[in-house]
Amino acid sequence: MILQDERKLPVRSPLITVGGVKVKLECVQPTGSIKDRIATYILDESERLGLLRKGMRIVEATSGNTGIALAYHGTRKGYPVTIVMPEHMTDERKATILSLGAELVLCSKEGGFLEAAAIRDEMASTLPGIFNPDQFANPLNAEAHRIGTGAELIEQAGHPFDAFVAGVGTGGTL
Annotated catalytic residues are 35
Name the nearest CA neighbour of 75 among 106, 30, 34. Answer: 30
Name the nearest CA neighbour of 105 among 41, 54, 172, 122. Answer: 122
Compute the distance between CA of residue 143 and CA of residue 146 in angstroms, rounded to an integer: 5
Compute the distance between CA of residue 71 and CA of residue 49 in angstroms, rounded to an integer: 21
Compute the distance between CA of residue 119 and CA of residue 115 in angstroms, rounded to an integer: 6
